[in-house]
Amino acid sequence: LGKIPLLGWILRHYHILVDRKSIRSRGAALERMQQGLASGHSIFAFVEGKRHPGPDLLGAFSAGAFQLACSGPYPLAILTLAGTGEKMPTAPNILQGGPIHAWWDVMTAEEVAQYQPRELRDEARRRMMARLKAHYAERPFASMPKRP
């Protein structure tokens, strides 16, 4: 994405690009995020790393954001989205209209301080999963797109 004209420039200046296969890239990204937090900036991380195409509601979470949150400790705002798979299928350049549901769960720095990074990751995942299960309990999975 960083090589695409205009979009690449925007991403390089306002987004931290991470090659998740590279230990060096992951380390550099964590360092930049730590510097941002120390400067008073907020960090927004997609802890799944990419859209999750599997039958489960959530993919595996990366640990970096939770390590950073615990290092402060810093407050953690957990955003759960439902409906993105239906509105943005994996086929390129196909977007569908309609609602996307969003919920925020906020943990204060004091709450975050009670967790180790892996425990915090698991707690965030538990909260997100509870939101998604409640949402889809009201809307049958049959309405969700079939995934390969």
79 versus 84: which is more confidently predicted? 79
**pTM tops 0.85:** no
113 versus 94: which is more confidently predicted? 113
Q: Which residues, including other chains, have CB under 8 Å from residue 121's CB and lie 6 or more apart?
A: 47, 61, 63, 66
- Answer for the pair 2, 19: CB distance below 8 angstroms, yes or no: no
- Answer for the pair 69, 109: CB distance below 8 angstroms, yes or no: no
Q: Dump pLDDT digits (tens) for 27-67.
A: 898 898 899 888 888 887 777 756 665 567 788 888 888 99
pLDDT (0 to 100) of residue 6: 79
